[in-house]
Amino acid sequence: MKFTTIALPVFEQSVADYHRQDSVEAKIQNPHAFQTIEYYLYLKNWIDAVQWHLEDIIRDPLIDPARALEIKRTIDRSNQERTDLVELIDSYFLDKYKDVKVLPGASINTESPAWAIDRLSILVLKIAHMREEVNRKDADAAHHDAVTKKLNVLLEQREDLSTAIDQLLEDIEAGRKFMKVYKQMKMYNDPSLNPVLYKNK
């Protein structure tokens, strides 16, 4: 079974579950067994969904500055959680393919499988929100036509990205490509690397 036939329904379920509550304070109720790949995919998309809406809220021109700062720090924590989870998903693939014999001339991909899957998770969110725009009753025909065209592009992009992810995983499994994962080099959250933090100790 192709990996994206597992991932896409999990992402879509997470998006639907989030929007039933439609609150950045909503508590996640992950329906998948703990430590399965489905569990991590659902969690990944839920983090993306919450951050998507936090990014909307913080752009309110009338937002209280103190509230905006609070949300910005929440987004920073969310970005760290997202990166940690991407690395965890890559670890799943590293373990899965650890016994594969790499073929002579095998090449490395421009990004790891999990970072491509990260893009797919966000793309599923984009599609869901663009569908909302397509179905808006208060929008005029020009808006409807514009967002319908955008939705069609996003759907094509989902197909292309899914194909690319599945092909990458097939190539890794066959030894035609190999994984090389660079652990996070984020500096802004590290008190030993961010000058604003270490100069104010």
What is the C-alpha separation between 44 and 117, in angstroms, rounded?
Answer: 10
Q: Are 125 and 157 in contact (CB under 8 A)?
A: no
- Strand stretches in the chain, DSSP E: 107-108, 177-178
pTM above 0.75, yes or no: yes
- 22 in the Ramachandran plot: left (φ > 0), alpha (ψ -120 to 50) or beta? left
Q: In this predicted model, what pLDDT tens digit does every residue of 164-176 receive, in sequence order?
A: 999 999 999 999 9
Q: In this predicted model, what pLDDT tens digit does every residue of 3-43 receive, in sequence order?
A: 999 999 999 999 999 999 999 999 999 999 999 999 999 99
Q: In this predicted model, what pLDDT tens digit does every residue of 45-104 receive, in sequence order?
A: 999 999 999 999 999 999 999 999 999 999 999 999 999 999 999 999 999 999 999 999
Nearest residue to 26 via CA among 37, 40, 38, 14: 14
Residues in the chain: 201
What is the C-alpha separation between 180 and 71, in angstroms, rounded?
Answer: 34
Q: What angle do CA 130, 44, 186 make, to 5 degrees?
A: 105
What is the C-alpha separation between 88 and 93, in angstroms, rounded?
Answer: 9
Break the chain down into helix, strand, coil percent, rounded to 5.
65, 0, 30
Nearest residue to 43 via CA among 55, 25, 31, 59: 31
Residue spans of alpha helices (H) in 97-140: 113-134
Q: Are 15 and 45 in contact (CB under 8 A)?
A: yes
User: Which residues on adjacent β-strands are paired with residue 178?
Assistant: 108
Q: What angle do CA 175, 178, 183 make, to 5 degrees?
A: 155
Q: In this predicted model, what pLDDT tens digit does every residue of 108-146 receive, in sequence order?
A: 999 999 999 999 999 999 999 999 999 999 999 999 999
User: Amino acid identity of 66?
Assistant: A
Tokens 């693939």 found at: 93
Three-class DSSP category at 177: strand
